[in-house]
């Protein structure tokens, strides 16, 4: 067993608050957010709403609750939302919209690039007929599995939905990863790109506890009327917190200091993918942001369980739910990535 520190590549949710973030939390003025009097929460809500071009925002404990509040604010009982088969708000959130809101999902298969084909969206919109659920909402996710939705596609898909009377929601759990990647391709500013993406939608959920490195929290952005509805649902879902400014201050610090540095995570993902390329049986998906997926084939697939156990012994953590997944973040550096590459290569060469 090595005595080196752990290289945790399971998720960008595992980050610890930086010393500067902890200082911001300790200094945060506090109130009671259920009464609407926590100044740090109010400041965060104003900041993220202004940044993304919305009238209002709501601070919530989790991205799952943010998406739930969004869907139930857009849709009522007997309504439906169109969504991708692999979208987080459909596949990975316990069916909350259906369970708690009697809102029917209409999942569609993704194209190879992660998009939902426009013709399939069009065909899934139900006619106004008593036989059908009422189609009310299109939900997209950016990034999806670390892949950036092309901005032209986002514009086209949301324009199609709006032309048919649908609202549009973005699960932007890693919106700023998408914005940094989009900005790199366009030679523009990441914050401007985040706003450009967000303005295609009627509501946007943003997670602070992934690549941005805050310990807890997401925000839901939209119109004042929409956020008022979402606020009521947050209360019913148990999301009303008291001195939540401690957490909001961490999220606010992340917005101020951790957006542009996401490019470092993207570069480390590229470094990791390059290091894993060429291993027999490894099919490495070229990363677009901070997530590297690897399909295993042949003898490598047969040894996948042994590989995961070996990596654990080497204090290198990854996930292998349906593929190998490695996620870079602010608590991983180049030395850690190189150590993971050496360990994996050593396992297959041993």
Cα 9 from chain centre: 16
- Range of weakest confidence among 6-10, 262-266, 289-293, 346-350: 346-350
pTM of the model: 0.96
**pLDDT of 220 strictly over 50:** yes
Q: What pLDDT is stored for residue 3 in this prediction?
A: 58
Measured CA to CA, the distance from residue 94 to residue 98 in angstroms comes to 9
pLDDT confidence of residue 185: 83
How much of the chain, in percent, has pLDDT values that exceed 70? 98
Helix (H) or strand (E) holding 182: helix 175-186
pLDDT tens sequence across 105-136: 999 999 999 999 999 999 999 999 999 999 99
Averaged pLDDT for residues 52-79: 98
Number of H helices, E strands in the chain: 15, 12
Return the structure tokens found at 235.
Answer: 């209360």
Per-residue pLDDT, 322: 67
- Going by DSSP bridges, is the β-strand pair 7-8/316-317 parallel, antiparallel, or unpaired? parallel
The three-state (H, E, C) secondary structure of 202-244, written as one string: CEEEEECCCCCCCCCCEEEEECHHHHHHHHHHHHHCCCCCCCC
Mean pLDDT of 189-206: 98
Residue 171 dihedral angles phi and psi, to the nearest 5°: -80, 95
* Confidence (pLDDT) at 2: 45
- pLDDT tens digits, one per residue of 86-96: 999 999 999 99
Mean pLDDT of all residues in the chain?
96
pLDDT score of 321 more than 80: no
Q: What integer pLDDT is reported at residue 239 of this predicted model?
A: 97
Mean pLDDT of the 53-71 span: 98
What tens digit of pLDDT does each residue of 21-30 get?
A: 999 999 999 9
Determine the Cα angle at 227 with ends 225 and 228, to 5°. 65
Q: Can you list the domains of the chain with their CATH numbers?
A: 7-14+261-349 (3.90.1150.10), 31-257 (3.40.640.10)
- CB-count burial class (<10 Å; 0-12, 13-18, 19+) for 5: exposed
Are residues 29 and 43 in contact, defined by beta-carbon separation less than 8 angstroms?
no
Whether the per-residue pLDDT at 323 is higher than 90: the answer is no
Count of residues in the chain: 350
The HSE-up count of residue 146 (CA atoms within 13 Å, CB side) is: 22
- Tell whether the model's pLDDT for residue 1 goes beyond 80: no
* Cβ contacts of 162 within 8 Å, gap of 6 or more: 168
User: Average pLDDT of 45-72?
Assistant: 98
pLDDT of residue 320: 85
Name the DSSP class of 172: E
pLDDT tier at 236 (50, 70, 90 boundaries)?
very high
pLDDT tens per residue, range 245-288 = 999 999 999 999 999 999 999 999 999 999 999 999 999 999 99
Cβ(87)–Cβ(48) under 8 Å? no
How many CB atoms neighbour CB 213 within 10 A? Answer: 26
- CA-wise closest residue to 21 among 249, 301, 202: 249
């Amino acid at each position: 067993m090595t005595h080196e520190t752990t290289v945790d590549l399971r998720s960008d949710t595992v980050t610890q608050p930086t010393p500067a973030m902890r200082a911001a939390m300790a200094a945060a003025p506090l109130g009671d957010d259920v009464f609407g009097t926590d100044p740090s929460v109010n400041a965060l809500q104003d900041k993220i709403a202004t940044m993304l071009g919305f009238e209002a925002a709501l601070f919530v404990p989790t991205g799952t609750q943010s998406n739930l509040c969004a869907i139930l604010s857009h849709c009522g009982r007997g309504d439906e939302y169109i969504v991708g088969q692999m979208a987080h708000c459909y596949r990975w959130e316990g069916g909350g919209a259906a369970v708690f809101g009697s809102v029917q999902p209409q999942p569609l298969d993704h194209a190879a690039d992660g998009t939902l084909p426009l013709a399939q969206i069009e065909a899934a919109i139900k006619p106004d007929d008593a036989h059908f659920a009422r189609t009310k909402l299109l939900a997209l996710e950016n990034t999806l599995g670390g892949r950036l939705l092309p901005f032209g596609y986002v514009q086209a898909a949301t324009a199609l939905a709006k032309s048919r009377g649908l609202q549009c929601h973005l699960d932007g759990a890693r919106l700023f990863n998408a914005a940094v990647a989009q900005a790199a391709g366009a030679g523009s500013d990441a914050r401007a790109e985040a706003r450009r993406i967000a303005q295609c939608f009627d509501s946007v959920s943003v997670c602070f506890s992934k690549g941005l490195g805050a310990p807890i929290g997401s925000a839901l952005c939209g119109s004042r009327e929409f956020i008022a509805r979402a606020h009521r649902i947050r209360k019913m879902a148990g999301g009303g917190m008291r001195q939540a400014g401690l957490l909001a201050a961490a999220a606010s610090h992340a917005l101020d200091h951790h957006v542009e540095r996401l490019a470092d995570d993207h570069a480390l993902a590229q470094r990791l993918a390059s290091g894993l390329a060429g291993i027999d049986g490894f099919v490495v998906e070229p990363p677009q942001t901070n997530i590297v997926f690897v399909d295993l084939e042949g003898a490598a697939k047969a040894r996948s369980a042994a590989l995961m156990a070996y990596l654990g012994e080497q204090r290198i953590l990854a996930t292998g739910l349906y593929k190998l997944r490695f996620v870079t973040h602010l608590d991983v550096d180049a030395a850690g990535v190189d150590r993971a590459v050496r360990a994996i290569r050593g396992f297959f060469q041993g």
